[in-house]
Structure 1
Amino acid sequence: MTTLLNAEVTGLNSLNKINILNIPFIKTTNKRLLTYIKEEHIDKKKQAFIITANPEIVMHADRDPAYKKIVHSADCVVPDGIGIIYASKILGQPLPERIAGFDLLHDFLRIAADQQKSVFLYGAKPEVIQKAVANLKKQYPQLIIAGYEDGYHSYPEQVAERVKNTEADFVFVGTGFPRQEQWINTYRHLFPHTIAMGVGGSFDVLSGETKRAPGIFIRLNLEWFYRLVTQPKRIGRMMALPLFLMNVIAVRILRRS
């Protein structure tokens, strides 16, 4: 069983991290994170590798040492998932808020549009990514889309070369974990000035193929429940949540004994 480091550790200079089952999550608000990324990475043209992690990702990292190493190499691991917030409270080191990956994606898209930065989108089915790009052009008319590629491309190294050649300021990879983080980690040396982030199934939502949970579910932190009801095939994946919380509770008991 994984263990939790007791101390809060400093990371990203002015941002702190706490370890939940040996995964270092940033301890900050969405607003402060955006300010930091803008000032310390975008403005300075310094690469940032961002992982939006939920309990599924934490449990996968626990089983896969190579993937855990990739997670630890990221510049910041964002608490995406209400289970992560609950875990931080159980362990007595509460995180201030959940930072939803889909919302963070839109924050970065707004920044890119406002500052004339370019983005590259990689993932989803060919027809889905095309619809997502078309919708983004309508939603963010000033957004510079340097390029895009579907997630079924046979040669991921060619996609990486395309990203390199476009010199995109942001690259969003929606091929699902762990593939998206593995791809970013493998090729990040090719685009040293890029903000790179895995976005899971966000392109399906941006395209309109999949609907995000209604606002009431999001506000009540029940987005996971909406996905389970509308996508019952996800139940197997969601079993990671109770196992994750059981491990967190076990760590708390061990710390008290």
Structure 2
Amino acid sequence: MTKEEYMGVQVSPLSYEEITQQLKQRVAQGEQSTIIAVNPEKIMKSQTDETLRDLINGSTFQIPDGVGVLLASRLKGGDINSRVTGVDMMDRLLQLSADEGYRVFFYGAKEEVVTKAIENIQQKYPAIQVAGYENGYAQDQEALIQKIQDSNADVMFVALGSPKQELWIRENKERLPVKVFQGVGGSFDVFAGHVKRAPAPFRKVGMEWFYRLATDPKRFKRQLALPKFLWRVITKK
């Protein structure tokens, strides 16, 4: 897979369908895969955080989760044609798991959030096989590892916030039977119905960031990463 690179950070120029097809092949071959969402904020932070940059570049799939990455690809004549958001990628993986009979493990968030998310997911995908779950406050990590091993899970969603969730995956994946790992941040809150996504028209035109800013002005400082990132991309020779 040829990846695009922005300020030393790799991004996979693949659609949801292309990623899921590759994942099916990799699962069949017994290969482990990791998925991480990439946006301008992470790319800018990675300029001073080598660990974060290594976590991103060490993943199998770096999905373009920010409209800024899409714009950067267009400016540079790249092949990224659409965003691949973390929450929508999780939904595609849930559908794939239901279709293929993959066993799914959920780790992270508050107890009431992860259990409600699973309940809603089971209603949406009745064929889903839930291998198990653990909230994000597990103290005994060895017991958690054993629980996941015993679950024989194929797919695992880790919702501890980035980069903590990706660090956890990197440190533990070789001890686990899981074939597909995705760090999903606050996606359990979305599936639980505790956090509302931007209306579809905003998502369709890549303006979800504007909706979030309008509804939560405290995000302003974080959103400054977008113009800074695009300026760096434009001026970089």
Q: TM-score normalised to the size of structure 2?
A: 0.94
Matched residue, 1:109? 94
1:94-153 Cα distance to aligned partner (Å, 9 max, x none): 412211111111111011111211111111112111111111111111111111111222
**Structure 2 residue 133 is matched with structure 1 residue 148:** yes
**Structure 2 residue 8 is matched with structure 1 residue 22:** yes
SS at match of 1:50: strand
* Aligned pairs, number: 237
1:61-100 Cα distance to aligned partner (Å, 9 max, x none): 2221122112221112111111101111222324122111
Matched residue, 1:100? 85
**Structure 2 residue 228 is matched with structure 1 residue 247:** no
Q: Structure 1 residue runs of 4+, over 4 Å off?
A: none
Counterpart of 1:116, as a letter, is G
Task: Name structure 2 gaps, 5 residues minimum.
Answer: none
SS at match of 1:16: coil
Query: In the alignment, is the contact (CA less than 8 A) between 2:157 and 2:183 conserved in 1?
Result: yes
Pick aligned residue for 1:166 from 148, 151, 156: 151
Matched residue, 1:37? 23
Deviation at 1:225, TM superposition (A): 1.2
CA distance in 1, matches of 2:90, 2:142: 24
Matched residue, 1:191? 176
Deviation at 1:230, TM superposition (A): 2.2
Task: Name structure 1 gaps, 5 residues minimum.
Answer: 1-14
SS at match of 2:2: strand
Query: In the alignment, is the contact (CA less than 8 A) between 2:97 and 2:128 conserved in 1?
Result: yes
CA distance in 1, matches of 2:204, 2:23: 25
Deviation at 1:185, TM superposition (A): 0.7
CA distance in 1, matches of 2:113, 2:15: 31
**Structure 2 residue 109 is matched with structure 1 residue 124:** yes
Q: TM-score normalised to the size of structure 1?
A: 0.87
Deviation at 1:193, TM superposition (A): 4.4
Root mean square deviation, CA, Å: 1.6
Query: In the alignment, is the contact (CA less than 8 A) between 1:46 and 1:192 conserved in 2?
Result: no
Aligned sequence identity (%): 36
CA distance in 2, matches of 1:89, 1:209: 34
